[in-house]
Each structure stands twice: as structure tokens, then as C-alpha cells.
Structure 1
């Protein structure tokens, strides 16, 4: 079941990325954009580790 959820999430992410690329509205990522992404990943990782 968990593997199926991961597969669906991966497919959804791929679809969203392709839609973004095809939209023609791409902008360059700033250093702040990357830091925001890293922080979000850290928070999500910490939440998951706390739940274990």
C-alpha cells in the first residue's frame, strides 16, 4: 500500500513538473527559492523522524 502511495505521488509530481515546463512561465530560481525548498524539506524530514 505504501509503495502504491509513493508511486502515485511520484506520478503526480512528474505531471506537475511537466505542466510547469510546458506553461512557458518559467523563471529562474533565486538563492532564496533554493533555501526555502531546503528548509521545507528539513521540516518535513524532521516531522517524519519524530513520528517514527
Structure 2
């Protein structure tokens, strides 16, 4: 099976998509931290008010 030869336009579009995905991946740790803070807040509220 031979590799597909992409045109210049297709290569540029693929590179733009890769760059967008890379920028999104850099935000993931921030979103993970925010999720952990929200979970911790829920746990604290539950322990303080419901135990």
C-alpha cells in the first residue's frame, strides 16, 4: 500500500488542524485543575454541612 500524496493545500490544512489541536492540548491541564478545585469544593461543602 503506497502512501497518499497530499497537495500543498491539503498539507497546509492538516498543519492548521494540528496547530489548533496543540493549542487545545495546552489548555487541558488548566481545565483539569479547575475540575479538581470544583470537586474539592463539593467535598468540603458536603463534609461541613452534611455530616
User: With structure 2 as the length reference, what TM-score do the two structures score?
Assistant: 0.45
Determine which structure has greater relative contact order: mean sequence separation of CA pairs < 8 Å that are 6+ residues apart, divided by chain length: 1
Over alpha carbons, which structure has the higher Rg? Answer: 2
User: With structure 1 as the length reference, what TM-score do the two structures score?
Assistant: 0.44
